[in-house]
A and B are shown apart, each in its own frame.
Chain A
Amino acid sequence: MARHHYSGSALIEVLHAAQELYGFLSRDLLKTIAQKLSLPPSRVLGVTTFYHLFRIEPRRAHCAVVCLGTACYAAGGGELMNAANRVAADGRWTIEAGRCVGSCGLAPVTICDGRALSRVTPEELGKQMRVSANS
């Protein structure tokens, strides 16, 4: 926050940095940020919940981002989403919908625990997720 001179206009930058440090933005954390930047807490919460990338809850142990950009959707991204949700029923996964990860030439794509799986089928995704969760 000091880097941005405690300026309210740097709120989004500060939220990015805080999320990187703590993994998610808890209510207490948001309150502290509001105080330090001299902003009303409502403004800080409002901005946090407006943007998709900010999380107010912690992620689970594993994370899969299913790309649902147009190319991936047309190539079966919807089915991948269903497959991922089936595996996630065990409670260990956070499943997110990605808005185009920029690998449209290799559609459909899913990022499974940081690893990009390209031209992936629902069966293969399920297999990879189980491998990832049990390793």
Chain B
Amino acid sequence: MTAETVRAAQQAEQERQSRLEDRILCCTVAGCLSCGAKQVWATIEEQIEAQGRRGKTEVCGTGCMGLCSEGPLVRSSAADAIFTRVTAADAAALVAKDHGRFEERTLRADHPFLAGQKRLILRNSGYADPERFHDYIARDGYQALLRAVLEMTPQEIVAEIKKSRLRGRGGAGYPTGLKWELVARQPSETKYVVCNADEGDPGAFMNRSVLEGDPHRVLEGMAIAGRAVGARQGYIYARGESPLAIARLRSALDQAQREGLLGGAMFNTNFHFRIDIRVGAGAYVCGEETALLASIEGKRGQPVPRPPYPPERGLWGQPTLINNVETFANIPAIVEEGGNWFASIGAAASPGTKVFALAGRVKRAGLVEVPIGTSLRTILYDLGGGVPAGYEFKAAQTGGPAGGCIPTQHLDVPMDYDSLTGIGTMMGSGGLIVMDTSSCMVDLARFFMEFCMDESCGKCIPCRAGTVQMHDILARMTRGEGVESDFAMLEQLSGLLKETSLCGLGLAAPNPVISTLRHFRSEYEAHVRERRCPAGHCQISEAAEAHA
């Protein structure tokens, strides 16, 4: 495709859509699919036929609209609203545009769940069909890539990303522009761009939703990165556990290559960029960048010591740029609207938006995208509707097994990288799990430690043996068999793992323990000294109780 044909295709598709009286978009992402979205879609299709509305009404799939706990969700362009808990029985009324019937289940733009959000990464989710290339084109897709290839030099692209002050969305928050510059400066002929889509934190599904809902956006971001750093080959390392995301990516990749937007001689220039997909096989440690590269090379996913960092020596020894899915998804908008525009959104030190997967004990659970720096209180109470009646907020867990928890007294903390680190947790990739007073924090720490113990690759001893020791102590505590010296031992082991582990997994494994010890020490003490679980969660044996 050339710039002209892209524009012509965009116009044609926009006109086609504007001629429709109604476009009904059914969410087709994991959450809604598991509660019957496919059947809803099929029934709407039948109703369009039955009511003779073919050509006037169209039904298609779309990305995550956010409110997963109220699914399946369906959006109607005529009503300009989202309907919740739609069943096949609602299909006839939907097609007949009898929207009044859904008043109780209607979500309009002014609903607190939607009004509090700013959707940049998810802007197409709910509006475009992820399986249709032309839907993405109609919503200004690939315009940024066109600009990057035809109108900008690689240096200008890097400068724009630096100006945006975008920070890596994988969790660590390294400035993206600096990373790009590092790779761009390498004199090597062969370089690689790698997209880390190995989202393994239990309780996190942001990246998967982006890939399932808007795969072209990630491909476009990667191609722009290829242009900026001088790479001709990209890899997406996707998680084997999310087959739908892989299928959508494959189909998007085929379409983009068929249309000549990826591959050789793009837009009649000498720039070419290929992307291949590599499917992981269920190893959490492969989210660590050096382990991920080893896995792409077909080896066991074991990390190697850094430096040299991947921007210097990465895949097959060549300079490699690794960014997370959400980071790449931010790129097209930055190139299109400019770095200054992006830097004006969200918190000054870390601009932009962040997608959070809000789950646990909260009324409205799902996927939300908010400006960075929004307080936890706003996300939890305004967007999430608070904790259901009869329960009481205790803590929110962020950052998965590498993160920590936010207790009640810190509810007003702005959700940005530095503030979260300041209270002993981290931004992480965006999992946000709300816990109420029936959750036991000692057991939660044990749960995460068990995860790290399972997932430790076994290469370095502090992590391999340390996680087992820490898990044993925590498990003993939850059985009511802890002893006083366990506290000192936990703290000593935490320090040891943090200082001597080889990679991020071991370094961060003690974080949930440190964080819960800091904010909920009394719960640990109750388990050890009084042989009881304040949350009433742990099964403490009678023998242990008698011992107290």
Binding site for B on A (CB under 8 A): 7-13, 15-16, 43, 46-47, 50-54, 68-71, 73-75, 98-107, 109, 116, 118
Contacts and interface: CB of A to CB of B under 8 A. Distances in A.
Nearest to B70: A105
B208 A102 contact: yes
B31 A102 contact: yes
Given A99-B241, A100-B202, A105-B69, A12 B397 contact: no
B204 interface: yes
A53 B301 CA distance: 13
25 contacts: A9-B297, A9-B298, A12-B278, A12-B298, A16-B281, A46-B300, A50-B457, A53-B281, A53-B282, A69-B202, A70-B360, A70-B397, A70-B431, A70-B447, A71-B365, A74-B360, A74-B361, A98-B241, A100-B202, A104-B31, A104-B365, A105-B69, A106-B34, A106-B35, A116-B34
Contacts of B431: 70
A-B interface, 4 closest residue pairs, ranked by CB to CB distance from nearest: A105-B68, A70-B203, A52-B282, A51-B281
Contacts of A70: 201-203, 359-360, 397, 400, 431, 433, 447-448
Given A74-B439, A75-B360, A99-B241, A105 B366 contact: yes
Contact of B203 (A7, A9, A52, A100): A100
A46 B451 CA distance: 21
Nearest to B241: A99
A1 B100 CA distance: 57
A54 B202 CA distance: 19
B239 to A, nearest CB: 9
B240 A53 contact: yes
Contacts of A105: 31, 67-69, 71, 359, 365-366
B435 interface: yes
Contacts of B43: none
Given A70-B201, A74-B433, 17 more contacts: A9-B296, A12-B298, A16-B281, A50-B300, A50-B457, A70-B202, A70-B400, A71-B202, A71-B360, A100-B203, A102-B208, A102-B242, A104-B357, A104-B359, A105-B31, A105-B68, A105-B366
B460 interface: no
A99 B282 contact: yes
Contacts of A16: 240, 279, 281
B301 A50 contact: yes
Interface in B357-398: 357, 359-361, 365-366, 397
B30 A101 contact: yes
Contacts of A102: 29-31, 205, 208-209, 242
B30 A103 contact: yes
B241 A50 contact: no
A35 B209 CA distance: 39
Given A52-B283, A69-B203, A71-B360, A104 B439 contact: no
Nearest to B439: A74
A47 to B, nearest CB: 5
Contact of A106 (B31, B281, B397): B31
B299 A47 contact: yes
A104 B367 CA distance: 10
Interface string B275-302: 0001111111000000000011111110
Contact of B284 (A54, A98, A99, A103): A99
B314 interface: no
A117 to B, nearest CB: 8
A39 to B, nearest CB: 9
B444 interface: yes
Contacts of A46: 300
Contacts of A68: 202
Nearest to B201: A100
Contacts of A118: 34-35
A8 B294 CA distance: 12
Nearest to A111: B34
Given A53-B282, A99-B282, A105-B71, A8 B360 contact: no
> Which of B33, B203, B208 has the most chain A CB within a 10 Å cutoff?
B203
A36 to B, nearest CB: 13
B200 interface: yes
> Which of A10, A53, A70, A101 has the most chain B CB within a 10 Å cutoff?
A70
Contacts of A9: 296-298
Contacts of B203: 69-71, 100, 104
A51 B361 CA distance: 32
A74 B361 CA distance: 9
> Which of B296, B359, B435 has the most chain A CB within a 10 Å cutoff?
B359
Nearest to B202: A69
B69 A13 contact: no
B279 A12 contact: yes
> Which of B29, B281, B299, B435 has the most chain A CB within a 10 Å cutoff?
B281
Contacts of A74: 360-361, 433, 435, 439, 444
Nearest to B30: A102
A104 B205 contact: yes
> Which of B200, B298, B457 has the most chain A CB within a 10 Å cutoff?
B298
B39 to A, nearest CB: 13
B257 to A, nearest CB: 16
Contacts of B200: 99
